[in-house]
């Protein structure tokens, strides 16, 4: 233990599986007080868990109030929660349904707006600054439609980047830092379809050559730890690909 987050009070949205869970455990190991929120407890075990649908403004406001009561304040928000959208009708632009678009934007972008708004309000009220880290996707900056042909998902993650960079600019004077992770294909429950597709695995050998293959949730947790720690006190508005070389490889 290096105590890189000693005495930091953190809230992780979507913290009961995959990247969120790996980060919650890493944050706790590094000395942070952690609350995780999600639709259900999932694999959160003995982590402090509060149920919340981050698409609902009233639930988000209640979550922040409960978190503040439990932790005594807030220093870090990491928003991981999101969906792929395929089962709702997301797909190629000419095939994406109205329902697929609405469901994906609600889960991936509206939820970020709601949690970030609540966190910003808390940070401003505290007057102590704070850190927000949002989850985008490498697909928002380096599309790969042969295997990942989802218009709404890509647009939602691009929206996360735009919102985060706006917030970074707007609230830097308040010592609030806002950054973004943009993972490549990571071996998580949400990515099971892609991870287990033989054609995609072959593609990744060249597209994510540092793997090769999919990354791990711990790869993202390590990057999140840096961006949320005081080591990154001079870093805001950054989009950090954690992609095994995706953005600089042809595939």
Active site residues: 153
Enumerate residues 6+ apart whose C-beta is below 8 A from 117: none
Question: What region, left, alpha or beta, does residue 199 occupy, with left being phi > 0 and alpha being psi -120 to 50 degrees?
Answer: alpha
**Alpha carbon 131 to its chain's center:** 13
Enumerate residues 6+ apart whose C-beta is below 8 A from 154: 137, 139, 140, 143, 148
Residues in the chain: 251
Enumerate residues 6+ apart whose C-beta is below 8 A from 164: 116, 132, 134, 136, 178, 179, 180, 237, 239
Question: What region, left, alpha or beta, does residue 126 occupy, with left being phi > 0 and alpha being psi -120 to 50 degrees?
Answer: alpha
Q: Which two tokens stand for residue 54?
A: 């981050």
Classify each residue of 48-59 as buried b or exposed e, where b means 16 or more C-beta atoms within 10 Å of its C-beta. Answer: bbbebbbbeeeb
Q: Is the dihedral of CA 191, 196, 198, 202 positive or negative?
A: positive
**Alpha carbon 14 to its chain's center:** 8
Assign 3-state DSSP to the chain and report helix, strand, coil percentages, each to 5: 50, 15, 35
């Amino acid at each position: 233990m290096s105590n890189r987050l000693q005495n930091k009070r953190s809230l992780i949205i979507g913290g009961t599986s995959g990247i969120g869970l790996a980060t919650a455990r890493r944050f706790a190991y590094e000395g942070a007080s952690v609350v995780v929120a999600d639709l259900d407890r999932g694999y959160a075990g003995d982590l402090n868990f509060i149920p919340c649908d981050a698409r609902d403004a009233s639930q988000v406001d209640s979550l922040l109030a409960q978190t503040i009561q439990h932790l005594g304040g807030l220093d870090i928000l990491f928003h991981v929660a999101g969906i792929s959208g395929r089962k709702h009708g997301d797909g190629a632009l000419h095939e994406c349904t109205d329902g697929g678009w609405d469901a994906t934007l609600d889960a991936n972008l509206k939820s970020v707006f709601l949690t970030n708004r609540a966190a910003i309000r808390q940070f401003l009220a505290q007057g102590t600054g704070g850190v927000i880290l949002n989850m985008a996707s490498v697909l928002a900056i380096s599309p790969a439609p042969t295997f990942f042909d989802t218009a709404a998902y890509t647009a939602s993650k691009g929206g996360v980047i735009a919102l985060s960079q706006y917030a970074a600019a707007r609230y830097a004077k308040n010592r609030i830092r806002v950054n973004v992770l943009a993972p490549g294909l990571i071996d998580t429950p949400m990515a099971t379809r892609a991870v287990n597709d033989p054609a995609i695995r072959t593609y990744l050998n060249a597209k994510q050559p540092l793997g090769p293959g999919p990354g791990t949730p711990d790869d993202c947790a390590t990057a999140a730890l840096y961006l949320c720690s005081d080591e990154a006190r001079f870093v805001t508005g950054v989009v950090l690909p954690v992609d095994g070389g995706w953005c600089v490889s042809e595939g």
